[in-house]
């Protein structure tokens, strides 16, 4: 009888001990999860602050009056709120014309880059041909070659554009001038040699390589051609990734000042209008008052911040409409790790 009671007591003690053990582990795991959640929240907030802080400062300065710049008591919140800076920037940037030129150029170049890079990436991912790895390696090399190294050849190539001397043989001239037009951007985009095209080809190639080959094989068995299989089977699955490539291309072309200043001398786009904003204001005062007046560095910085906000706002609007596809493509691509 005593032995039975002692066994019961031992089992109860053991069960209580195990229950206490699991309770402690549960509490430890719970607090550990909360701790990691706190760490992640701090990291996300910190990174977001680093990214958003310059935009917040630019916007704050853009709605200040000039006298607030010299008031040491004003930090982020202006004492004299005004939108005159935006009116001035709108006028001297010739914003409607520059916006339309930038939008049409970015849209055209992005669509052309998307078409060419998708075809090139699919070829690298699904077909075998001589020197495939070497050619793809050269595509990756274009990511690390500074565009400034080929600036002069590019300029001369499109200033005297010719194909195997055909134009010279027909017209007797050295070539045709494609500068101050969209043709340099169109030709570079269609041939897969445009801005950041190596990155887009790499992203799309990795995506197509990850798709199961059974889909294509089933289409081939049903009698589908290679091009039809690509258009009806592969492209619909690659829509989120193509949206990402399109957004990357559009944003980089929208903010580009290197190729725009190289190929466009008279055609006004937003990055060039922003860089010439202070000069245009000074020239206006010269013609208006008959003397050159150099604006203060603080006021020039204020106008530059205002113009930068006007340059960035359209990109925010585009992202608001395309964010679902962008996030989906990032999750499916494996870009983040």
Give residue-wise pLDDT tens across range 90-105: 988 899 999 999 999 9
* Whole-Å CA distances, 283 to 87, 288, 290, 292, 297: 17, 8, 10, 7, 16
Among the ranges given (62-71, 72-81, 216-225, 284-293), the one the predictor scored with the smallest mean pLDDT? 284-293
User: Residue 235 corresponds to which tokens in the numbers above?
Assistant: 């492209």
The span from the CA of 209 to the CA of 121, in Å, is: 9
Mean per-residue pLDDT for 259-282? 86
Q: How many CB atoms within 10 Å of residue 237?
A: 14
pLDDT band at 228 (very low <50, low <70, confident <90, very high): confident
Contact 204, 122 (CB under 8 A): yes
pLDDT band at 292 (very low <50, low <70, confident <90, very high): low
pLDDT band at 114 (very low <50, low <70, confident <90, very high): very high
Residue 24's Cβ-side half-sphere holds a number of Cα atoms within 13 Å equal to 5
Give pLDDT, residue 223: 81
Burial of 317 (0-12, 13-18, 19+ CB in 10 A): exposed
Q: Phi and psi of 162, rounded to 5°?
A: -155, 155
What own/partner pairs with CB < 8 Å and gap ≥ 24 does 264-268 have?
264/179, 264/180, 265/179, 265/180, 266/180, 267/101, 267/180, 267/181, 268/94, 268/97, 268/98, 268/101
DSSP 8-state secondary structure symbol assigned to residue 295: P
Q: Phi and psi of 11, rounded to 5°?
A: -65, -40
pLDDT band at 200 (very low <50, low <70, confident <90, very high): very high
**81 strand-pairing partners:** 64
The span from the CA of 249 to the CA of 315, in Å, is: 12
Sequence-distant (6+) residues with CB within 8 A of 203 are 121, 241, 244, 245, 333, 335
Under the phi-then-psi rule, with left for phi > 0, alpha for psi from -120 to 50, and beta for the rest, what region is 196?
A: left
User: Residue 151 corresponds to which tokens in the numbers above?
Assistant: 């600036």
- CA 50, 51, 53, 57 dihedral sign is positive
> Is the model's pLDDT at 177 over the cut of 60?
yes
Mean per-residue pLDDT for 236-265? 88
Place of tokens 């066994």: 7
Of the candidates 115, 163, 117, 162, the one whose C-alpha atom is nearest the C-alpha of residue 142 is: 117
Of the candidates 66, 136, 117, the one whose C-alpha atom is nearest the C-alpha of residue 242 is: 117
Number of H helices, E strands in the chain: 17, 0
Percentage with pLDDT > 90 across the chain: 17
> Is the model's pLDDT at 209 over the cut of 60?
yes
Give residue-wise pLDDT tens across range 42-69: 888 888 888 888 888 888 888 888 888 8
The dihedral formed by the CA atoms of 161, 163, 168 and 171, expressed in degrees to the nearest 10 = -80
Residue 101's Cβ-side half-sphere holds a number of Cα atoms within 13 Å equal to 22
Under DSSP, is residue 163 helix (H, G, I), strand (E, B) or coil?
coil
């Amino acid at each position: 009888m005593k032995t039975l009671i002692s066994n019961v007591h031992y089992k109860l003690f053991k069960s209580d001990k195990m229950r206490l053990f699991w309770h402690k582990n549960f509490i430890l795991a719970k607090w550990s999860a909360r701790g990691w959640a706190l760490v992640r929240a701090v990291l996300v907030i910190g990174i977001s602050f680093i990214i958003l802080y310059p935009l917040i400062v630019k916007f704050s300065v853009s709605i200040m009056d000039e006298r607030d710049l010299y008031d040491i008591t004003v930090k982020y919140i202006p004492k004299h709120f005004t939108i005159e800076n935006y009116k001035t920037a709108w006028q001297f940037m010739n914003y409607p014309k520059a916006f339309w030129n930038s939008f049409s150029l970015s849209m055209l170049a992005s669509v052309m880059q998307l078409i060419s890079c998708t075809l090139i990436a699919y070829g690298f991912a699904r077909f075998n041909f001589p020197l495939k790895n070497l050619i793809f390696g050269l595509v990756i090399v274009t990511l690390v070659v500074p565009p400034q190294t080929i600036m002069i050849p590019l300029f001369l190539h499109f200033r005297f554009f010719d194909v195997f001397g055909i134009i010279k043989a027909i017209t007797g001239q050295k070539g045709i001038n494609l500068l101050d037009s969209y043709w340099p951007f169109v030709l570079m985009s269609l041939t897969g040699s445009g801005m950041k095209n190596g990155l887009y080809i790499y992203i799309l190639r990795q995506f197509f390589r990850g798709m199961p080959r059974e889909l294509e094989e089933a289409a081939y068995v049903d009698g589908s051609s290679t091009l039809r299989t690509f258009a009806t089977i592969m492209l619909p699955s690659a829509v989120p990734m193509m949206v990402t490539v399109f957004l990357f291309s559009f944003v980089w072309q929208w903010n580009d000042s290197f190729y725009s200043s190289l190929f466009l001398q008279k055609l006004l786009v937003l990055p060039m209008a922003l860089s010439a904003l202070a000069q245009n204001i000074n020239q206006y005062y010269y013609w208006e008052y008959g003397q050159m007046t150099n604006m203060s560095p603080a006021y020039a910085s204020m106008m530059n911040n205002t113009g930068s906000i006007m340059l960035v706002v359209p990109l925010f609007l585009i992202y608001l409409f395309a964010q679902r596809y962008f996030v989906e493509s990032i999750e499916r691509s494996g870009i983040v790790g």
